[in-house]
Structure formats: structure tokens, C-alpha cells
Amino acid sequence: MEISRKSCFISQQFLLRKKLLLGGSKRHRLITTVWQPKRNNCSTIQSTPVMNHMEKLLVQTPSKQYPIYFGSRILDSKQYFEPHIPGDKVLIVTNTVVGPLYLERLIRTLKSANKKVCFIQIPDGEIHKNLTTLSVLYDKCMENRLDRKSTLIALGGGVIGDLTGFAAATFVRGVPFIQVPTTLLAVVDSAVGGKTGVNHPKGKNMIGAFYQPQAVVVDINTLSTLDDRQLAAGLAEVIKYGLIRDVEFLEWCETNMERLKKRDPEALSFAMYRSCENKSDVVSADERESGVRAILNLGHTFGHAIEAGTGFSSWLHGEAVAAGMVMAAEMSYRMGWLRKEDVVRVETILARASLPIRPPPTMTLEKFMTFMSVDKKVESGKLKLVLLRSIGNAIITGDFPVDVLEDTILHFQKLVLQHPEQYEVPFASQSL
């Protein structure tokens, strides 16, 4: 049964009427600007809801309204794809890990809708999210004579979604595309909101565009083949929503972390839906990140520096963001906003999710400052950071002493001498 609703509404099936807490206050700080999206008839989380049918969440932005479908085995149902494909040609972009698992199923679904389907599989990993791979996608589009009514479908994680979205935004000045995320991180973050792009050797996501998909199709069964390291990386982004704007959800994550790690279907379904609802609210208020949307980047400026500083090859995005959120919390403490116990709380839930809570020892002060200086949040030569006024209340600010930032970075460099084991990336023995 298909249930349509706006992003501020959850069906009775979810047994949930809730309010979105912004630090428990009536306002949310953005430098000196107050902001708070409001929800209707909300109360606290009563229990973990069950997703035993298809759920639909609408994302509404100035440029486009589109659905996020959540359900079991909906990858096999053409009804979630056909309405969003205007022409008869489709190019599926996937990678060499996801392709063997789900590509044939998606091809069958699209052919049952009388679509002409071609596909391309690229190597797996962040290291391939670059202009070289993008050019390969353009080649494939031209070889198959795709036109402006042709549709690109991203089948995979965040790398596939970002690449495919940017290719769609730029090929013949824009073609439709659909996100089919197969990792937790992609579901709760990169597949929603229209950020697309590729990395540059000097910085992450420095080349890209805001370009919204036609739809996001989440088959929750695809998470069953996700390895533990990728699952943990996705949990970093789930936890982020609680830290920046949804205290109730953070408390729920703290209570249900073991269920999430064990892939409990009810817990994962709720975490995905609530995370997407949080992101939808922010994106709807600020599609192109001219203001409040930047709160979604908590830990990302530090994290992007870690990814770039390690060559986009050894740390997953969620791992780098986790370490970055701890650094942001520590800096917030040094700014006099968080208590020390708040920093410990951030560290504890991330560690429980099997995520690193320290940056790698190779990330020196000089290296951090070099990569952070080319971050997208640098405006007129001034770096802006997302910090925490309190748990659940994020702030975007460039008004901080440079020595506080430097002391924060140096603090973590000193910690490696005391606790070197905390610098090990979980599951480091596994290949990327």
C-alpha cells in the first residue's frame, strides 16, 4: 500500500507522533540568525516503528519535489521506477561490488517497463570519484546515443550516487536520474538533497553541482549484503542528525545501538526514515546551502581533510566524519559551549558504533590547515565551521580564534602518544 505524505508527517503505521527538538529550545542558532523548522502535532518517540510495507517520504525543494520510497524488495517493482523515467533509454551506473549482487534484478525490472537498458560498472572506492571516471561515464552516454529524455540510475553507495548525479547534471546540460542507494550512508545522506560531484586531488567534492533526482528508491534488503565497516560508516551520519538537531533521535540511537549494529530490520528502518526526514526538512529550507543546510556538515571539514590527507584510499567517508565530529565537539568545548561530559557522550556513541574517534597520526597541524583552507565553506578567505552550542543545537560560525582551532588539532596529535590504539581504523584489515 502506498502512503503519500509530506516530509513533516509519519503514518500511523510508524506509531509515531513526534517533535523535532532543536536543543530543546524554540530557536536554532545560525551564527546570529535563528531558525527552526516546525512539525505538526508532534510528541516523543514511543517505540521503534515497523516498516512492513512501502513507505513514501516527499522531499520538497524550490527546484523539485520528489519521493523517497522505502520498502522490502521494491527493487523488483517497476511501479517505483516507471513514473520517473520520461524516455525509453536508461543507463545504470554501478560498481564491481554492487553490480554482481543487484544489477540483473534492476535490469529485469526496467525491461518489464519496456525500457532499453545499458549499464556500466566502475571500480569500487572513493579513489575513483574523479574527473577520469566521470569522462568514462560521458563516453558511455555518447556510445549509447542517450538524449535529454534518457535517464541515469545510480545503483550503489555514495560514490556512485555522486558521480552519476554529476554526470546527469552535466550531460547534454541535464538529464533525469534516479538514486538507488545500497549503503546505509547513501540512504541517509548522499542520495537525498541533490549534492553531486567528484573529488579533486587537493580537496573533496570541490567539483560538482546541486541537482535533484527524480526519485530515491530504497530497497532495505540491500543492506543485508553490506559489510560491518560500511554499516558503521553509515551510522556516523545517522548519529550526526541527533547531534545537530534531533536530541530525541540521539537518545533513541544510544538506546538502540546494539540493535542497529545487529541489523535489526525495525531499528534500521526507523533510523533510515528518521534520518531522511531530518535531511529533507533542512534541504527543503535551504536547497543550495546558502545558510542552514551547512549544519549537515558537522565534522565534515575535519573529515574531508582526513580523507584528502590520506589520499581518499584508507578511510571511509563515515569514518572520517566520525573522527571529525569528535574534533568538532572538542573544539566546541574549548569555545565554552559544550561540557566535557558532552564530548565524552559524543565519543562514546561513535565508539559504540565501531567508529574511529581520533584522526590518524599522519594528520599533522600543517596538513589539517592546508586541506581545510580549500574547504567549500571558506568564504572570502575565512573558514567557517559547524560546531555545537549544545547537544542537538549546531551553529555555523567563522567567529572563532584560530589558536582554538590549532589547539584542538594539536590536542589530538598529543593523544596518539597516550592512546595509540584509538587511532586504528576499525576493520582496517579489510580491503576497501
Measured in whole angstroms, the distance separating CA 186 from the mean position of its chain's CA atoms is: 5
Catalytic residue among 240, 300, 376, 384: 300
Catalytic residue among 128, 245, 274, 304: 304
Catalytic residue among 55, 126, 277, 289: 289
What are φ and ψ of residue 260, in 5° steps? -65, -45
Catalytic residue among 204, 229, 240, 317: 317
Active site residue 200: no
Q: What is the pLDDT of residues 42-72, one digit of tens each?
A: 334 544 544 557 899 999 999 999 999 999 9
Residue spans of alpha helices (H) in 158-293: 158-170, 184-185, 228-244, 247-261, 265-285
Catalytic residue among 29, 89, 195, 376: 195
State the Cα–Cα distance between residues 332 and 318, nearest whole angstrom. 20
Query: Between 127 and 5, where is the model more confident?
Result: 127
Contact 50, 266 (CB under 8 A): yes
Q: What is the pLDDT of residues 373-417, one digit of tens each?
A: 887 777 777 899 999 999 999 999 999 999 999 999 999 999 877
Least confident of 252-261, 351-360, 410-419: 410-419
Active site residue 195: yes
Distances (CA, A) of 213 to 176, 305, 423: 7, 28, 37
Q: What is the pLDDT of residues 127-137, one digit of tens each?
A: 999 999 999 99
Active site residue 108: no
Active site residue 424: no
Catalytic residue among 95, 205, 297, 393: 297
What are φ and ψ of residue 59, in 5° steps? -100, 125
Catalytic residue among 115, 128, 279, 384: 279
State the Cα–Cα distance between residues 49 and 233, nearest whole angstrom. 23
Catalytic residue among 140, 293, 334, 367: 293
**pLDDT at residue 382, rounded to an integer:** 87
In sequence order, the β-bridge partners of residue 430 are: none
**pLDDT at residue 34, rounded to an integer:** 30
How buried is residue 357: exposed, middle or buried, by Cβ count under 10 Å (0-12/13-18/19+)? buried
**Residue found under cell 517505483:** 80
146: cell is 542517450
Active site residue 237: yes
Tell me what the mean pLDDT of segment 159-187 comes to.
Answer: 97
**What pTM was computed for the model?**
0.84
Active site residue 277: no
Catalytic residue among 55, 126, 237, 248: 237
Tell me what the mean pLDDT of segment 296-320 comes to.
Answer: 94
Confidence of residue 355 (pLDDT cuts 50, 70, 90): very high
Active site residue 173: yes
Tell me what the mean pLDDT of segment 125-151 comes to.
Answer: 97
Active site residue 289: yes
318 Cβ contact list (under 8 Å, min separation 6): 185, 232, 233, 234, 235, 236, 237, 355
State the Cα–Cα distance between residues 5 and 135, nearest whole angstrom. 39
Contact 420, 346 (CB under 8 A): no
**pLDDT at residue 423, rounded to an integer:** 61
Confidence of residue 422 (pLDDT cuts 50, 70, 90): low
Active site residue 84: no
Tell me what the mean pLDDT of segment 148-161 comes to.
Answer: 97
